[in-house]
Structure 1
Amino acid sequence: MSPHTSPPATAGLGRRLPLLMALACGITVANVYFPQAITPLIAQSLGVSPATAATLATVTQLGYAAGIFFFVPLGDRLPRRPLVTVLLTVTSLALLAAGLAPATGLLLAAGTLVGLATVVPQVLLPMAAGLVEPERRGSVIGTLQAGLIGGILLARAFGGVLGEHLGWRAPYLIAAALTGLLAVALGLVLPTTAPATRDRYPTLLADTLRMLRTEKELRRSVFFQVTVFGGFSAAWTAVALLITGSRYGMGTQAVGVLALVGAGSMFFAPTAGRWVDRYGADRVNLWCIGGALAAAAVLTGGSLGGAAGLVALGAGLLLIDVAVQCGQVANQARVFALRPEARSRLNTGYMTCSFLGASAGSWLGTRAYTHLGWAGVCALIAFAVAVALATYPTGPALTCCIGHATSDRLDHLP
Structure 2
Amino acid sequence: MQMNSTNGISRTVIWLMSVISGLVVANNYYNQPLLALISEDLHVPESAASKISVLTQLGYAAGLLLIVPLGDKLFRKKLILVDLVLVFASLLWMTFAQELWMLYVASLLIGATSVIPQLFVPIAAELSSDKEKSSNIGIVMSGLLLGILLSRFVGGIVGEMWGWRAMFGIAAGIMILVWFAVYKMLPDLQPNFKGTYKELMKSVFHLAKTQPVLRLASFRGAMAFGSMCALFTTLVFHMEKPPFNAGSSVVGSFGLAGAVGALAAAKVGKLQRFLDLDRIILYSLLIVLGSWAFTYFAGETYWGLIVGVILVDLGVQSSHIMNQTNYFLIKSNAVNRLNTVYMVSYFIGGSLGTWTASVAWQYAQWSGVCAVGATMGILALIAHLIFSKRISVTN
The one-letter code sitting in structure 2 at the alignment partner of 1:337 is: L
Equivalent in the alignment of 1:347? 339
Equivalent in the alignment of 1:162? 158
Is this contact kept in 1: 2:220–2:383, CA < 8 A?
no
Aligned length: 391
2:38 maps to 1:46: no
Q: 1:324 aligns with which of 298, 302, 316?
A: 316
Which TM-score applies when normalising by structure 2? 0.94
Unaligned runs of 5+ residues in structure 2 are none
Q: CA deviation at 1:281?
A: 3.2
Distance 1:181 1:211 in 2: 36
Change (3 A) 1:399 1:124: closer
2:18 maps to 1:22: yes
Q: 2:207 aligns with which of 199, 205, 211?
A: 211
Q: CA deviation at 1:373?
A: 1.8
Secondary structure, in 3 states, of the residue corresponding to 2:15?
Answer: helix
Distance 2:213 2:283 in 1: 18
Q: CA deviation at 1:265?
A: 2.6
Q: Between the two proteins, what is the percent identity of the paired residues?
A: 33
The one-letter code sitting in structure 2 at the alignment partner of 1:101 is: A
1:53-87 Cα shifts (integer Å, max 9, x gaps): 11111101100000100000000001111111111
Q: 1:133 aligns with which of 109, 120, 129?
A: 129
Is this contact kept in 1: 2:222–2:345, CA < 8 A?
yes
Please give the root-mean-square deviation of Cα atoms over the aligned residues, in Å. 2.1
Distance 1:44 1:59 in 2: 19
Distance 1:394 1:387 in 2: 11
Unaligned runs of 5+ residues in structure 1 are 1-6, 401-414
Is this contact kept in 1: 2:292–2:370, CA < 8 A?
yes
Distance 1:399 1:78 in 2: 34
2:356 maps to 1:360: no
Distance 1:55 1:390 in 2: 29
Secondary structure, in 3 states, of the residue corresponding to 2:226?
Answer: helix
Q: Which has the higher mean CA deviation after the structures are superposed, 21-30 or 265-274? A: 265-274
Equivalent in the alignment of 2:267? 271
Equivalent in the alignment of 1:120? 116
Change (3 A) 1:133 1:283: farther
The one-letter code sitting in structure 2 at the alignment partner of 1:385 is: G
Equivalent in the alignment of 1:193? 189
Q: How does 1:377-392 map to 2 (within 5 A)?
A: 377-392=369-384
Q: CA deviation at 1:254?
A: 1.0
Q: 1:108 aligns with which of 104, 108, 130?
A: 104
Q: 2:76 aligns with which of 63, 77, 80?
A: 80
Q: CA deviation at 1:301?
A: 3.4
2:179 maps to 1:183: yes
Change (3 A) 1:359 1:119: same
Q: CA deviation at 1:247?
A: 4.2
2:312 maps to 1:312: no
Change (3 A) 1:310 1:366: same
Equivalent in the alignment of 1:298? 294
1:187-212 Cα shifts (integer Å, max 9, x gaps): 21112211111121111111111111
The one-letter code sitting in structure 2 at the alignment partner of 1:324 is: V
Change (3 A) 1:80 1:274: farther
The one-letter code sitting in structure 2 at the alignment partner of 1:311 is: W
Is this contact kept in 1: 2:223–2:377, CA < 8 A?
yes
Is this contact kept in 2: 1:39–1:50, CA < 8 A?
yes
Distance 2:127 2:333 in 1: 12
